[in-house]
Structure 1
Amino acid sequence: MPSKLTAKQLCQSLLKKVSISKLTLLGFLLVALPLTAALLFSVSKLSDLAKQSTVSVYHVAQLTQLNNQLSDRLVSIERFASQYVVLKDTALLTTFTEQQRSFLNIIEHFLLQQQDLTLVALLKELSVESQLIKGEIQKDSDENSGNLTLDIVQRKFQILVNLKNKIKDRSNTIINEQATNIDFTAKQVNQNILNSLYTIPITLLIALIFLLLITRPLKALIRKINTLEQGNFSEKIDVQGTSEVEEIAQALEMMRKRLHALELQKSSFIRHISHELKTPLAAIREGTELIYDNSVGPLNDDQQEICDIIRGSVTRLQRLIEDLLDFNIVLDSTSLQDAEKIHLPTLIDSALALRKLDIKRKNLVIDSSGTDCDFYSNTKQISVILDNVLSNAIKFSPLGGIITIKYHSTHNNKNNLIIEITDQGPGMSNNLKDKVFDAFYQGPPPQDNQIKGSGLGLTIVKELLMRLNGFVDLSDNHTSSHDKSSLKQRGKGSCVTITLPQENKAKSTAP
């Protein structure tokens, strides 16, 4: 064990003295060296094979051309010779002579290119026999004896055909030999390349070692950065590696300490200032309500109008402070880490109870249904999410409207909890569905609501769900056909779908 520890310390000491660029360059050279040698060797062998293949293909093409031309010319001169013997036409004799000369030129042309002795001998014999036939036909023409018959000509040409077939057989033999040689050479090249592949495991091992030396500390840095991104500033950052890695780790540690201190100061400030504002605000609101209700005497129309403005402003200020406190929950990572058992129907009832007065004021009907289940999450987060979504549904619902709340569990590969909250409000255009999740964005307010929101509600919902590995979706209300007439009178409505992971879902408590 001590020897292993010493080796590890020695490795870390060496890494501190080497930069990432030098380590990468060294690893690249060590990996590239055997691969380059194997590649050059393989390229050389493949080049030799390509040259041999080129020569063989050219030779095969020559032999094929030779056989085709010999066959064509031989058929032509035999036809003209036979016609001359039968018809004794001097024009046919002239044509025969020209074809026979062309036949001899072909043989002479290929004799200069061929190195196979057997093929050369056959071509010379074919040339001699062809000239003999020409001589006999010419002699018969000069003497006009008529001794040369069609049968005699055909027998003599049969000799040429036999020689031509021998040339074709020899050509095929040469082609087969060439193919065999190429196949043998290709197998040798293939074997040499396979032998050179033994260098690959060595290079892979070298690459793996340097990959681990480079990426392991970088991955450790990425994990630390992800931890900071999630708002966890309590874990110390200490990563061993090359000099650059340790410099980055030290800089991240200093940033972590600074962010941790700033987060504590920020959360404390928002929390204290919000509570400090709520105390005098409560007194202002009570006094405004007393004046508004004519508890201290009747008001004239101008005083009543001013009182309405003050009352609306106080209500909006209270809502802004509440949103600010909710947004502080998102910013304060220390309040989001504890998970506990939650009974979803009870939590929904609690959220509805908090909005009881708003629901009663607009004479809304709440239709809540779903499976009775328990799951584990952060109660405070889920409460804030439900409250903000319900607040929007109530805000945009018409008088006497219906808010539908449905929740159920999925039973596929990803077990999720789905909560759908649907209203009968005016709905939302497609170009606004993404913008409403931006911080401080405020869409068009409902016609009967003069109090503007803070623009933080759905932002808080989205951020909290991201921390829970869930997500939120805003869509149009998909109402059944028998409700469409009612929907047309009230508005197309919106449906907010909340999806939460169910990995830690408890068993159903339903009887």
Structure 2
Amino acid sequence: MLTKLTRLSIDRLSLRNLTLLGFSLVAIPLVATLLFAANKLSQLAEQSTSSIFTVAKLIRLNTDIADYLTKVERSASQFIVLNDADTKQRYLKQHRALHQVIEQAINEQPNQSISKLLTDLQQSSQTIAKLLQQVDKHDISLEDIQQLFKQLNSNKIQLKQHTNNIINQQANHIYQSSEQARANLLTSLAIIPITLIIAIVFILLITKPLKRLIDEIKQLEQGNFKAKINFSGSSEYEEIALALETMRQRLHELELQKTSFIRHISHELKTPLAAIREGTELIYDHSVGDLNPEQQEICDIIKASVSRLQTLIEDLLDFNIVLDSTSLQETKITPLAPLIDKVIAQRQLDIKRKSLSIEKNLANLSLFTNATQLSVIIENLLSNAIKFSPEQGKITICAQEINNKVTLTISDQGPGISKEITEKIFDAFYQGPQPENSQIKGSGLGLTIVKELLSRLQAAITIANGKTGASFVISFEQSTNSHVTEDLTQSQTSN
């Protein structure tokens, strides 16, 4: 219950607050991780610097003590052999330098063990110095001095070993600290997937309402004005939804008015047209008396014009089907073969008039679509194929399913369609070059109706020119509700 309330409260946040919240939840862990990593790296740098300085001092101390001990031992040995004042002064000078080095190291060295070793070294050195200053009172041999310096060198070796142990400890400490810092950094990288998940969640929270609004807009685009747009969410999205709902209501009103107008005007036109046609037929059949050639010619013109007007009204009624968005709701599973047979039967007189043959190669396919609108599409394309087919020509109707998409092709053996005409052929009231002696006159709305209806049925149409004639290829992009059986209908030919 608490989770549901939390989600509802998040959904009600404004787009700005939702964006700020998402940015904060992503940025805060990242910033905290960066600060933590920076602190660990800073500590490692300080420890490394301190250890390096300590190691450098110990190495320098060992080097200085070794150098001065070597010089002191050499000058002491020379003094025992030569016993002159210059050699003694050189020895005393080097002894004081060694004493200063040891004293300074004792004062600066925090390690007690090293300080004790340095103190022992200093005392041993002073013992030798006192002994050499009394060389006149005591009989001191070179072997005695060398023995004393051997003890002093032993103290130096102990000091070096101890300092080397400390150097190794510092090196191990730096290595362990670096490994720990590396482990901490690797651990802190785990925050990246967490922040990515947070970012994805907020992206979904922002884009999901947009997807819903896009779906509503697509419904309006397809002419579905009946479904009310109900939307709850952030204030910005609700404002957009309210504007879409207002637009939907207005479009629905206009749609009803437009459909009603076309229906009424078509009915009003057909009523007097029927009377005119009936009267013309009576005159044309000489029911009211014989006609002279001039009257007969005028009667022929009237009869052709009445037929032309009737065709235009029928096309207008078909166009009304396109504009009528309510018919889009009448979708159902529609078998293709019976529907195509019904359309062919309706145009049988025009087919026989030109002695055409119809070749069908249809799989046992069905579409989840609007049967009325699909019938209008096929009828217009078949009428176009009949119109441009030569006498005793052949019209091929083929349907197949490829990659879960149904393709319907209607081909004729006419003159084909040039590229210039192809670009304009779906424009309203456009009529290309008419075939010679054509008995079928069009209004220029047929292919416009086809294009519009296919757009609403989420299908596409393309035109392909073969060696002879043209082919209209319809591809139903969303045919997931179509099904195919393994039994295919054999090719049939009807004359």
In the other structure, the counterpart of 1:414 is 404
Structure-1 separation of matches of 2:30 and 2:452: 50
Alignment of 1:257-276 (within 5 A): 257-276=249-268
1:23 partnered with 2:21: no
Number of the residue aligned with 1:498: 474
> Residue 389 of structure 1: CA displacement?
0.6
Correspondence for 1:346: 338
Match of 1:197 in 2: 189
- Aligned equivalents of 1:35, 1:211: Cα separation in 2: 18
The residue correspondences of 1:70-469 to structure 2 (distance < 5 A) are: 191=183, 193-372=185-364, 376-407=368-399, 409-410=400-401, 412-416=402-406, 418-449=407-438, 453-469=442-458
The question of whether the paired residues in 2 share the 8 Å contact of 1:232 and 1:333 is answered with yes
> Using the alignment, how far apart are the partners of 1:47 and 1:286 within structure 2?
103
C-alpha contact (below 8 Å) 2:366/2:482 kept by paired residues = no
Q: TM-score, normalised by structure 2?
A: 0.63
Whether the aligned pair in 1 keeps the contact of 2:262 and 2:317 (CA below 8 Å) is: yes
User: Equivalents in 1 of 2:361, 2:41: separation in Å?
Assistant: 74
Q: Quote the offset at 1:384 in angstroms.
A: 0.8
- Separation in 2 of the partners of 1:44 and 1:294? 110
User: Cα distance 1:298–1:187, how it changes in 2: closer, same or farther (>3 A)?
Assistant: farther
Q: Which amino acid aligns with 2:263?
A: R
Find the aligned partners of 2:384 and 2:42 in 1 and give their Cα distance. Answer: 75
Determine helix, strand or coil for the equivalent of 1:495: strand
* 1:429-486 superposed Cα distances (whole Å, 9 cap, x missing partner): 12332432233332222232487533221222233233333332211135xxxxxxxx
CA distance in 1: counterparts of 2:403 and 2:484, whole angstroms: 17
Alignment partner of 2:435: what SS? coil
CA contact (8 A) 1:373 1:509 kept: no
* Offset at residue 191 of structure 1 (A): 4.5
1:249-298 CA distance string (max 9 Å, x none): 22222222222222222222222221222222222223333334444444
Q: Kindly indicate whether the alpha-carbon contact (under 8 Å) linking 1:271 and 1:325 is maintained by their aligned counterparts in 2.
A: yes
Instruction: Say which SS state the counterpart of residue 437 (structure 1) adopts.
Output: coil
Instruction: Give 1:184 shift.
Output: 10
**2: CA distance between counterparts of 1:244 and 1:24?**
13
Q: How does 1:31-50 map to 2 (within 5 A)?
A: 31-36=26-31, 38=33
Deviations 1:65-120 (A, max 9, x none): xxxxxxxxxxxxxxxxxxxxxxxxxxxxxxxxxxxxxxxxxxxxxxxxxx9x99xx
Match of 1:475, as an amino acid?
A
Instruction: Normalising by structure 1, report the TM-score.
Output: 0.61
Aligned length: 365
From the superposition, tell whether residues 427 and 505 of structure 1 become closer, same or farther in structure 2 (CA, over 3 Å): same
The 3-state SS of whatever aligns with 2:482 is coil
> Per-residue deviation at 1:321?
1.5
Partner of 1:367, secondary structure, is strand
Higher Rg of the two aligned structures: 2
SS in 1 for 2:313: helix
| Pair 10,39 (structure 1): closer, same or farther in 2 beyond 3 Å | closer
Deviation at 1:391, TM superposition (A): 0.7
Q: Is 2:461 the counterpart of 1:472?
A: yes
Q: Percent identity?
A: 57
**Structure 2 vs 1, CA of residues 22 and 477 (structure 1 numbering), >3 Å: closer, same or farther?**
same
The answer to whether the 8 A contact 2:459-2:475 is kept is: yes
Aligned-residue offset at 1:241: 1.6
Assess if the C-alpha contact under 8 Å between 2:382 and 2:410 holds in 1.
yes
CA distance in 2 between counterparts of 1:47 and 1:302 reads: 111
Instruction: Report the Cα distance in structure 1 between the residues aligned to 2:416 and 2:177, rounded to whole angstroms.
Output: 76
Rounded to whole Å, the distance in 2 between the matches of 1:339 and 1:202 is 46
CA shift, 1:6, in A, is: 4.7
Measured in 1, the distance between the counterparts of 2:472 and 2:275 equals 36
**Are the aligned partners of 1:343 and 1:374 in contact in 2 as well (CA < 8 Å)?**
yes
1:188–1:319 distance in 2 versus 1, CA, 3 Å: farther
SS in 2 for 1:499: strand
Instruction: Please state how far the C-alpha of 1:373 moved relative to its aligned partner.
Output: 5.1
Q: Give the partner amino acid of 1:453.
A: G
Contact 1:368–1:406 (Cα < 8 Å) also in 2: yes
* Aligned match of 1:101: none
